[in-house]
């Protein structure tokens, strides 16, 4: 009897974990006290094919089209054609659609409970409602599939890298996500490079980075004290993309060939590689260099003061999710606009770049 009870308990827990809720959304657009949620299912056989965004608003006169237009305005990798209030085409990174088939529009009380509606231009926005689109009239019997949280293509760019590894006229980023902390390396090379070669390049020049392979899979990887060793359900997932918004899952390293501006992603856990902090600046800097800088008070209330004999080039402040929330060129920085919590302060000079953790009270 106990075994049967345990079986149904595990089954129920799996059902709950499969549901997608507001708490899973990472990319929010708009402002206001009301919330709506949007899922786009491209239904094209790629992985992932379905993404979710959040929308904040106040007006009572908005439609689903306003929600979609706000996401398009915030995401340069997305474009759409909406003649007369009906969605004709929607392109997002490697997902492209045409007029050979149709988008079916949906709305409901949850991501898993939606039904047909009247189209993006003729469906009013309601606080707390879920809205969705799915491509392909032949597959219209099922609402949009369970999504992944969409990321913004602008949350991290190659221009933020201060220390490039290797030489060559081609550049790629390698994002390594341990599930709670995400780091990035910038690499340079000639021609093209495999995923394995990209990791070897980093290992050859970053003494604090090690990895091992088994059957073309990453079995273990370490960055200083951050480690991920494949065991049971825990394993390294592989991705390729052009930015954070375009990750496509790959089965093994042999499927990954990097050319100029391609990204390689590794994630130890379920989320796709998330907004990173530069590994070379964060983990590779010596303790002697870090001692050249101090930030006080810490914890801080309204201001922080940076004490250094070096000339500051730029100060960037990041949230714990890696999003840049402030930039300054001064040694005294007003924090009153930031919410309470933990932040990372990146100090850039002509010769150095270091990361320091602060707490805003």
H or E segment to which residue 295 belongs: strand 293-296
Does pTM surpass 0.85? no
Helix (H/G/I), strand (E/B), else coil: 9: helix
CB under 8 Å, gap of 24 or more: what pairs does 349-354 form?
Answer: 349/308, 349/310, 349/311, 349/312, 349/313, 350/310, 350/311, 350/313, 351/310, 352/285, 352/289, 352/292, 352/310, 353/162, 353/163, 353/278, 353/281, 353/285, 354/281, 354/285, 354/289, 354/290, 354/293
CB 55 within 8 A of CB 70: yes
DSSP label of 273:
P
Domain ranges of the chain: 22-149, 158-278, 293-360
Q: What pLDDT does residue 18 have?
A: 65
CA-based Rg of the chain, rounded to a whole angstrom?
23
Q: What pLDDT does residue 288 have?
A: 45
Out of 3.40.50.1000, 2.40.40.20, 2.170.130.30, 1.10.1740.10, select the CATH number for domain 22-149: 2.170.130.30
Question: Tokens 């609402």 sit at which residue?
Answer: 143
Spans in the chain with pLDDT lower than 70: 1-18, 284-292, 320-322, 351-353
Q: What pLDDT does residue 233 have?
A: 82
Q: What pLDDT does residue 285 have?
A: 54
Where does 158-278 sit in CATH, by number?
2.170.130.30
CA-to-CA dists, residue 127 to 25, 59, 109, 124, angstroms: 16, 10, 10, 10
Between CA 269 and CA 192, with CA 189 as vertex, the angle to 5 degrees is 75
CA-to-CA dists, residue 326 to 244, 256, 335, angstroms: 20, 35, 9
Out of 3.40.640.10, 2.60.40.1930, 1.20.90.10, 3.40.50.300, select the CATH number for domain 293-360: 2.60.40.1930
User: Closest by alpha carbon to 258, among 216, 195, 184?
Assistant: 195
Cβ within 8 Å of residue 30, ≥6 positions away: 55, 56, 57, 70
Report d(CA 288, CA 58) in Å as an integer.
Answer: 51
Report d(CA 56, CA 164) in Å as an integer.
Answer: 38
CB 147 within 8 A of CB 52: yes
Give yes or no on whether 158-278 and 293-360 have one common fold: no
Report d(CA 175, CA 213) in Å as an integer.
Answer: 17
The pair phi, psi for residue 63, each rounded to 5°, is -120, 175
């Amino acid at each position: 009897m106990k075994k049967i009870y345990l079986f149904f308990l595990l089954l129920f827990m799996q059902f709950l974990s499969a549901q997608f809720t507001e708490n899973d959304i990472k990319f929010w657009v708009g402002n206001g006290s009301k919330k709506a949620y949007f899922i786009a299912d491209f239904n094209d056989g790629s992985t992932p094919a379905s993404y979710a965004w959040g929308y904040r608003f106040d007006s009572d006169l908005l439609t689903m089209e306003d929600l979609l237009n706000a996401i398009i305005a915030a995401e340069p990798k997305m474009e759409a054609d909406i003649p007369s209030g009906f969605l004709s085409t929607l392109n997002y990174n490697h997902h492209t659609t045409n007029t050979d088939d149709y988008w079916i529009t949906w709305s409901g009380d949850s991501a898993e409970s939606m039904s047909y509606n009247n189209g993006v231009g003729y469906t009013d926005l309601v606080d707390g409602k879920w809205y969705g689109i799915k491509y392909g009239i032949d597959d219209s019997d099922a609402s949009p599939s369970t999504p992944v949280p969409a990321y913004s293509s602008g949350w991290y760019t190659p221009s933020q890298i201060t220390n490039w590894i290797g030489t060559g006229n081609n550049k790629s980023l390698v994002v390594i996500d341990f599930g709670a902390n995400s780091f990035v390396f910038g690499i340079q090379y000639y021609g093209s490079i495999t995923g394995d070669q990209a990791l070897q390049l980093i290992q050859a020049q970053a003494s604090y980075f090690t990895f091992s392979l088994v059957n073309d899979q990453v079995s273990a990887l370490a960055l200083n004290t951050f480690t991920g060793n494949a065991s049971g359900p825990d394993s390294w997932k592989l991705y390729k993309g052009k930015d954070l918004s375009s990750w496509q899952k790959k089965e093994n390293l042999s499927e990954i060939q990097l050319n100029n501006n391609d990204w390689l992603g590794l994630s130890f856990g379920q989320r796709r590689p998330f907004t990173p902090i530069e590994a070379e600046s964060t983990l590779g800097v010596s303790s002697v260099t870090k001692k050249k800088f101090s930030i006080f008070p810490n914890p801080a209330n309204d201001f922080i003061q940076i004490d250094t004999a070096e000339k500051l080039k730029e100060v960037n402040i990041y949230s714990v999710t890696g999003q840049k929330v402030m930039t300054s060129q001064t040694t005294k920085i007003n924090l009153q606009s930031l919410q309470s919590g933990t932040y990372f302060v990146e100090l850039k000079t002509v010769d150095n770049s270091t990361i320091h953790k602060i707490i805003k009270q």
